[in-house]
Structure 1
């Protein structure tokens, strides 16, 4: 039976949305709202079942510094009220389409999940996130066409709302769905680009907290939290989240926020991950706690990343300094292995655009970022058992021919997964890594 007191469907049960979006909805409810979340799990883990066993309640630890003040706060998050496991509970998922109470779709299926995939016939439940959402929206169109739906993707991709909308329109056309449905999407479904910014290291295994024993879903986050949503002032009435205690802003253009965040914070995370894992380093804190590595990262940001961003340089430097402070947060143990999840997709979305823009400016690929990219691929080649990526990618690196030289395999990996040709920047990087 459909839970009629659900207003939000949240695709993604991971640490990030629980610490980021869950805390915002909790803020609203503690100020008199009544917004409840149903979370949707599309992976094979049993985490949803475990979370259901504790009535979907969990605790959030916010620890770090804000405006120079030390913050250590634990709060219970109680706004999640239901869960769906896909594809097992297809019927329950589609039944929510007929609920007039439900208005918002939130997603964080990662860069690897926000893709266009060829699907089977419309009658068969889709495998991809975009395909499933298309089927859900069509059911809504058939049952309650007067209801509006607001879709807010949180994946770290440029124009993520527009991208998802285009995927759904493409699926609709591929399935020969009616022109009336396409018109309804234009009129009744609001897709908004958004940018999320918060470091969420996950379960605080390194901290001495009694709560860890009773709540396996305890999640830690830094105090900083920004959600930038793109749209005109007229959509304010569709966004109660703007009243959250976190920094949730509505702007006509969020491309500047998105570009600086993905290129400075996320690209730095991905860069240090390949570099660090290859050296046996476990966390961001351990990585940054070295004057040589910190200088290396500053050089990357100042000389390889910021020149590719056409925004005020002083503002970018200030943001970069804030990011470094966030990396140094002594309360946070952000595992590089967690950041390495779906690294091939992250290399494509976070590093490759910097490579291309830098080459246009300078004439060759950025040397330090090239070293980091080569390090990540070498980590995949040398320790395939530690890869946290799509099954196809894991199998490729596991089964790649060991009879070839490492440099030849690297060349094939670059061409196969990143569509890059071997060049002097990669040659120099490889030689440095080998030293």
Structure 2
């Protein structure tokens, strides 16, 4: 529900922990010193977070805990900048109403790598299923009602050039639906798609900290002190992005590919690898537990130094130092970042985060990087042998459920590698499977 007397300025696609722990504190900080900005949060997936938020008047606590400048810190902050929420496709009329309100200027999203994809849609008159399709339809309403208003889009999905990618999909939808050329020209003039790189570990509810009492708030979001946002722009553009000015955790740079590539390969790549290994072998529930195991920490260091860092075109010593800072963040004693949460949409995450590592080594040496390959097989074996642990898109679940029952595990793995990853099965992969099977005994 929305208070009719409270204007909405920002539409946020994503009710999950990350944006609530990353973006909302930024808006809260800005609103404290300036005219408040209000958010409408949009839920477009299954779940009941929106319902829970509504019962709490869209307010919740942020719990920041960790090591900062060598000292342990624990702070709480009440987040009050969300003023309404809608669920799609049910509330599509309300969604399109926002397109006709000039005070609504920003759309931020975190629909994950699985959500920022191309999907061929049906007729324009039918509400789109894909995120990019819905943005295209919303912008067309904006075009017809408020052609002089600017719109700023800030996709935070962990994909290179995410802003340009979203714009590409929106224009492709416009062409597919046969929308007027004037609409596409208007997008180029009035709609600003920024590339973004976001970095903060947000494990969600601090379930391991029994001493923390926050008025019974079950939507409390725990975050680490570290927070970094890089936005790609040739100019400061503070008139388009007023909430980034004077915020030390936000950088506007003419090129952010280096920030993005380094973070996705190292931080997110390690998250995906550790999750695959830990879930398949039933090792640990959280990242900090995993990294706290000396032998497992050394495995991650070997993965980084031998297979991931050599793929990055940056200074080696600086990159190694950055990777060790990431490991220290993983070991945050206040964090209980659950592999269960990280495992959501793990299939597409592996493709964007770690598949490039395999491809790099195959192209440069003709050899399969053993540790990364093992991570991929941990994931695939989980999907094949333990379908109850899959937290992924329905089409991915369906694909694995339809693999021939009579085929051996190696035959299934060979088929998936070929069809989904364009990788040819050979004796090297057989050896990796044998190593995993010995670990699992």
Q: CA deviation at 1:419?
A: 2.8
Could you tell me how far apart the structure 1 residues matched to 2:20 and 2:217 are?
14
Q: CA deviation at 1:429?
A: 1.5
Is 1:342–2:364 an aligned residue pair? no
Match of 1:237 among 236, 239, 260: 239
Q: Which residue of structure 1 lines up, in the alignment, with residue 52 of structure 2?
A: 50
Deviations 1:30-83 (A, max 9, x none): 223311110100012222112111110011111111121111111100000010
Deviations 1:140-168 (A, max 9, x none): 00001110011010000000000000000
Q: CA deviation at 1:23?
A: 0.9
Deviations 1:314-354 (A, max 9, x none): 22112101100001001111111111110110111001111
Could you tell me how far apart the structure 1 residues matched to 2:277 and 2:257 are?
28
Could you tell me how far apart the structure 2 residues matched to 1:234 and 1:346 are?
31
Is 1:392–2:416 an aligned residue pair? no
- Tell whether the 8 Å contact from 1:25 to 1:244 is kept in structure 2 after alignment: no
- Tell whether the 8 Å contact from 1:62 to 1:222 is kept in structure 2 after alignment: yes
SS in 2 for 1:306: helix
Q: CA deviation at 1:361?
A: 2.6
Is 1:225–2:227 an aligned residue pair? yes
Q: CA deviation at 1:411?
A: 1.1
Deviations 1:214-265 (A, max 9, x none): 1111111111110000011252321123236451110000000001000010
Match of 1:180 among 158, 179, 182: 182
- Tell whether the 8 Å contact from 1:344 to 1:389 is kept in structure 2 after alignment: yes
Match of 1:169 among 161, 171, 182: 171
Is 1:318–2:321 an aligned residue pair? yes
Could you tell me how far apart the structure 1 residues matched to 2:255 and 2:416 are?
36
- Tell whether the 8 Å contact from 1:19 to 1:60 is kept in structure 2 after alignment: yes
- Tell whether the 8 Å contact from 1:370 to 1:425 is kept in structure 2 after alignment: no
Q: Which residue of structure 1 lines up, in the alignment, with residue 22 of structure 2?
A: 20
SS in 1 for 2:178: coil
Match of 1:112 among 114, 117, 123: 114
Q: CA deviation at 1:401?
A: 3.1
- Tell whether the 8 Å contact from 1:150 to 1:191 is kept in structure 2 after alignment: yes
SS in 2 for 1:116: coil
Q: CA deviation at 1:107?
A: 0.4
More off after superposition, 81-90 vs 307-316: 307-316
Q: Which residue of structure 1 lines up, in the alignment, with residue 124 of structure 2?
A: 122
More off after superposition, 363-372 vs 75-84: 363-372
Could you tell me how far apart the structure 1 residues matched to 2:28 and 2:334 are?
23
- Work out the number of aligned pairs and report it: 435
Q: CA deviation at 1:418?
A: 2.4
Could you tell me how far apart the structure 2 residues matched to 1:24 and 1:246 are?
11
Is 1:357–2:360 an aligned residue pair? yes
Could you tell me how far apart the structure 2 residues matched to 1:73 and 1:319 are?
26
Q: Which residue of structure 2 lines up, in the alignment, with residue 277 of structure 1?
A: 279
- Tell whether the 8 Å contact from 1:344 to 1:417 is kept in structure 2 after alignment: no
- Tell whether the 8 Å contact from 1:282 to 1:335 is kept in structure 2 after alignment: yes
Q: How does 1:298-309 map to 2 (within 5 A)?
A: 298-309=301-312
Could you tell me how far apart the structure 2 residues matched to 1:54 and 1:80 are?
11
Unmatched segments (≥5 aa) in structure 2: none
Could you tell me how far apart the structure 2 residues matched to 1:424 and 1:161 are?
41
More off after superposition, 211-220 vs 6-15: 211-220
- Tell whether the 8 Å contact from 1:61 to 1:72 is kept in structure 2 after alignment: yes
More off after superposition, 360-369 vs 57-66: 360-369
SS in 1 for 2:121: coil
Is 1:383–2:378 an aligned residue pair? no
More off after superposition, 425-434 vs 14-23: 425-434
Q: Which residue of structure 2 lines up, in the alignment, with residue 140 of structure 1?
A: 142
Q: Which residue of structure 2 lines up, in the alignment, with residue 92 of structure 1?
A: 94
More off after superposition, 156-165 vs 380-389: 380-389
Could you tell me how far apart the structure 2 residues matched to 1:241 and 1:317 are?
32
Q: CA RMSD in A?
A: 1.5
Could you tell me how far apart the structure 2 residues matched to 1:11 and 1:111 are?
13
Q: Which residue of structure 1 lines up, in the alignment, with residue 270 of structure 2?
A: 268
Q: CA deviation at 1:359?
A: 2.1
Could you tell me how far apart the structure 1 residues matched to 2:213 and 2:59 are?
13
Cα gap change, 1:217/1:407 in structure 2, threshold over 3 Å: closer, same or farther? same
More off after superposition, 374-383 vs 160-169: 374-383
Q: Which residue of structure 2 lines up, in the alignment, with residue 410 of structure 1?
A: 413
More off after superposition, 413-422 vs 174-183: 413-422
Could you tell me how far apart the structure 1 residues matched to 2:295 and 2:361 are?
24
SS in 2 for 1:404: coil
SS in 1 for 2:118: coil
Could you tell me how far apart the structure 1 residues matched to 2:82 and 2:365 are?
49
Deviations 1:106-140 (A, max 9, x none): 00000000011011111111010000000000000
Q: Which residue of structure 1 lines up, in the alignment, with residue 74 of structure 2?
A: 72
More off after superposition, 36-45 vs 419-428: 419-428
Could you tell me how far apart the structure 1 residues matched to 2:382 and 2:18 are?
25
State the TM-score, normalizing by the size of structure 2.
0.96
